[in-house]
Copies of this chain bind each other. A is one copy, B any other.
Amino acid sequence: MQDKIAQLKEHIARVSDLRRAAAVLNWDQEVQMPPGGVQARAAQIGTLRGLAHQLFTSDEVGALLNDLKPCLDQLDYDSDEASLIRVLAREYDKAVRVPPAWVEENARVTSLGRQAWAQAKARNDFSTFEPLLERIVALQREWADFFAPYDNPYDPLLDRCEPGLDSAQVGALFAGLRPQLAALVEQITRQGRPVDDSFLERPLPPDRQVAFGRMLAARLGYDYRRGRLDLSAHPFTTSFAPDDVRITTLVDPHNFFRCVKSSIHEAGHALHAQNLDPALYRTSLDWGAGMAIGESQSRFYENIIGRSRAFWKRLLPVMQAFFAPQLDDLELEAFYRAINKVQPSLIRVKADEVTYGLHIILRFELENDLVNGRVSVSDLPKEWNARMEAYLGVVPPTDSEGVLQDIHWSQGSIGYFPDYLLGSIFAVQLWDAMQKDLPDATAEIEAGRFEGILRWLRDKVMRHGRKFTLPELAARAVGGPLSAEPFMAYLRAKMDDIYGLG
C-alpha cells in the first residue's frame, strides 16, 4: 500500500506542478503581462490545464486509486493517506467525465472572456461581452451535463466549488436568510441613528495605501519571505506553493477603506495557504478547500477582525501616523461606525456586512435561472436591474455598475458566488467556537496580538488543506452543521450596538 501511495503521490506531484504553473501564468497575466500577450497566454494556459487534466485522468492514476480504495477501511479517516485516497478518488471520478477538449476549450474561452469582460466593463458595453458569456454559460451547462442525472443542472456547479452542497440546501438556507436580512436593513434604515462615512472618501496617496495594506497583512502573520502583495484590477490570492503565496489588492480613489479591507481579506486567504501542513505539499490537497471554507478564512479576517472595534482601537492610531496629517482628526467610534455603515448600494464588493448577503442571494438566483434556461444571457442586464430594485431598492444606472461589475462569470465561475455568503456564515460559527477555547480572543485583537487566533485557525481549518468537505470540517471545528443563526445573531448584536435598534 505504501508503495502505491508513493506512486500516486509522484503522479499527483506533476499534476500539481502543471496546475501551479498555470496559476503563475494567470497571476502574471493579471499583474504583469503586456496587453499583446493575451492570445498566446490563453493558448499556454489551455495547454497546461489540458495536460494536467490528461495526466490526472490517466489510466495509471485510475488503477492506483482502484487498488487503494479498499485500503480506506484500514486507515484512520482523518489521516493524510486516507484523505488523499478519498479526495483524489472523488475528483478522479469527476474528472474522467470531463473530456480534455472541454478543459482546453474552456481555458481558452475564459482567458479571452476575462479580457472581453474588462473591456466591456470599462466601456459600459454589455453587448461586446455577451457572445463570450453565451459561450461560457453554454460550456458550463455542457460541464453540468457530464454529471447527469441531477435534480438541477446548477447542482454539479455548486458541488464543484464546495463539495457536498446542492441547490436545495443552499436555496433553503438563503430563502430563510433573505427576509431576515431585508428586515434588518429596513429596521436600520427606518430607526437607526445616522452614520457619517464621508471621511472615508478622503484622497490618500495610493502608494501609501498599498504600503499600509502590506503592513496590515504582515501584522496578521503573512510572511513576505514567502509571498508578495501587488495591485490588480480584481484582488485575488494565488498559491504556487505554501512558500510562495501571492496577494493582490486594489486602491479605490473614492474610499480608502477598500484597500484596507481587500488587503485584510486577501491576507486571510494567504494565511490559509501559507499555514498548510507541509506534508500535503504537491499532493493536490495543498491549497484551500471548497470555496466556502476558503472564504470563511478571508471573511474571518476581513469582518470579524478587520471590522471590529477591538482591532481599530490599536490600529487606528497606527493608520493615523501612517497617513499623517490627513486622518489626525478621526475618532475611534466614528471610524468604527463608518466602516460598518449599512446602506443598500450597487456594488457587491463595496457592500456592508448586512446588505452583502442580498447581493449574493440575487446572484445565486440568477445563476440558477441562467443554467436552467429561465433567464437568457441577453436578458441578464434587465433581470439584474429588476432584482436589484426588488431586493435592495436601488437600480444600477449602467451595466458597469450592474451585471458587469464582477469578474466571476467571465472566468466561468458559476456556482461560486454563494460560497462568499456561506463563508461569512461559517466564519461567525468559527468565531463563536474560538471564543470558547480562547476567551481572551477579543483582548488579544485589542492588544494587536494575532498569533493565538492564527494558531487556532491553523489547527482547526488551515492546516487541513482540502482533506475535508465543509460539513466534515464544520463537525470537527465547530461541532455541528452549517447554520445561519449565529450569523444573524452576530449581525443583530453588532448593528444594535452601532445603530441603537433597541
Report A's interface with B, CB cutoff 8 A. Answer: 13-14, 17-18, 20-22, 24-25, 28, 32-37, 39-41, 43-44, 46-48, 51, 223-228, 240-241, 243-244, 246, 281-282
Contacts and interface: CB of A to CB of B under 8 A. Distances in A.
Given A21-B25, A43-B282, 17 more contacts: A20-B40, A21-B21, A21-B22, A21-B47, A24-B24, A34-B224, A34-B225, A34-B227, A34-B246, A36-B223, A36-B226, A37-B240, A39-B241, A39-B243, A40-B240, A40-B243, A51-B51
Contact of A48 (B13, B18, B46, B228): B18
25 contacts: A13-B43, A13-B47, A14-B47, A17-B44, A17-B48, A18-B51, A21-B21, A21-B22, A21-B25, A21-B48, A24-B24, A24-B28, A32-B32, A32-B228, A33-B244, A34-B226, A34-B228, A34-B243, A36-B223, A36-B226, A36-B227, A37-B244, A39-B241, A40-B240, A40-B243
Contacts of A20: 40, 44
Given A17-B47, A17-B48, A18-B47, A243 B36 contact: yes
Nearest to A20: B44
A496 B461 CA distance: 74
A18 B21 CA distance: 10
Residue of A18, A37, A240, A246 most packed against chain B (CB within 10 A):
A37
A35 B241 CA distance: 12
Contacts of A14: 47, 51
Contacts of A37: 226, 240-241, 243-244
A105 to B, nearest CB: 15
A39 B244 CA distance: 10
A20 B20 CA distance: 15
Q: Which of A13, A224, A243 has the most CB of B within 10 A?
A: A243
B40 A244 contact: yes
Contacts of A282: 43
Given A24-B24, A32-B32, A36-B227, A244 B41 contact: yes
9 shortest interchain CB distances as A-B pairs: A37-B244, A40-B241, A36-B226, A36-B243, A17-B47, A17-B44, A36-B225, A14-B47, A21-B44
Nearest to A244: B37
A290 to B, nearest CB: 23
A57 to B, nearest CB: 16
A60 to B, nearest CB: 14
Contacts of A223: 36
A341 B484 CA distance: 76
A256 to B, nearest CB: 26
Contacts of A35: 225
Contacts of A24: 24-25, 28, 44
